[in-house]
Amino acid sequence: MAKLSSIQVLLVQEIKDLYSAETQLVKALPKMAKAASNEELVKGFKSHLEETKGQVTRLEKAAEILGVTPKGKVCKAMKGLVEEGAEAIEEEGDPNVKDLALIGAAQRVEHYEIAGYGTARALAEALQLDEIVSLLQATLDEESTCDTTLTDLAQTIIGEIGELVPDA
């Protein structure tokens, strides 16, 4: 691990962390889509998979601008979030409630990514790396939109199922 000697060194670490996070998500999203029962949720996971592939490409471009490889770091936080998502995938029960569990897992991922991209963008701004700022902001916008879409879908599902009577 590189010594944190400059903002640029930290930015490189952030980009590597985000790259690892996104590549892990590329593997996890198809499993989440397969586990979902709500048609809109399935479409959303598949759509976000395509967005995520584009986000990986943006991170590769940012790394190229910085003259580094985006590989070489494992995002432990995403690894844990993906494991939690896998638990939701394995759950049995009411399909609507399972979809809500999948949405919760996905939103935890989105919030982690929003925090990471926000930090990286701020570092790139401090270094006046405008092209990297733009790349990171584009992804940040997508992640925020995804989070809002997931919230809206969860509210719709909750409205459709109403209050569940707890098992006696």
pLDDT of residue 164: 57
- Kindly state the percentage of the chain with pLDDT values over 70: 95
Q: Is 119 exposed, middle or buried (0-12, 13-18, 19+ CB in 10 A)?
A: middle
- Give the three-class secondary structure for 126: helix
Task: Give the residue from 109, 81, 85 showing the smallest Cα distance to 98.
Answer: 85
Whether 1 has a pLDDT exceeding 80, the answer reads no
**Per-residue pLDDT averaged across 75-92, rounded?**
93
Residues 6+ apart with CB under 8 A from 131: 65
Residue 168: pLDDT band by 50, 70, 90 thresholds? Answer: very low
The CB density around residue 129, as the number of other CB atoms within 10 Å, is 19
**Per-residue pLDDT averaged across 16-22, rounded?**
97
Sketch out the chain's domains with CATH numbers: 7-159 (1.20.1260.10)
Tens digit of each residue's pLDDT (9 = 90 or more) over 44-69: 999 999 999 999 999 999 999 999 99
Query: Is the entire prediction scored with pTM above 0.75?
Result: yes
Tens digit of each residue's pLDDT (9 = 90 or more) over 115-150: 999 999 999 999 999 999 999 999 999 999 999 999
pLDDT of residue 4: 86
- Give the three-class secondary structure for 72: coil
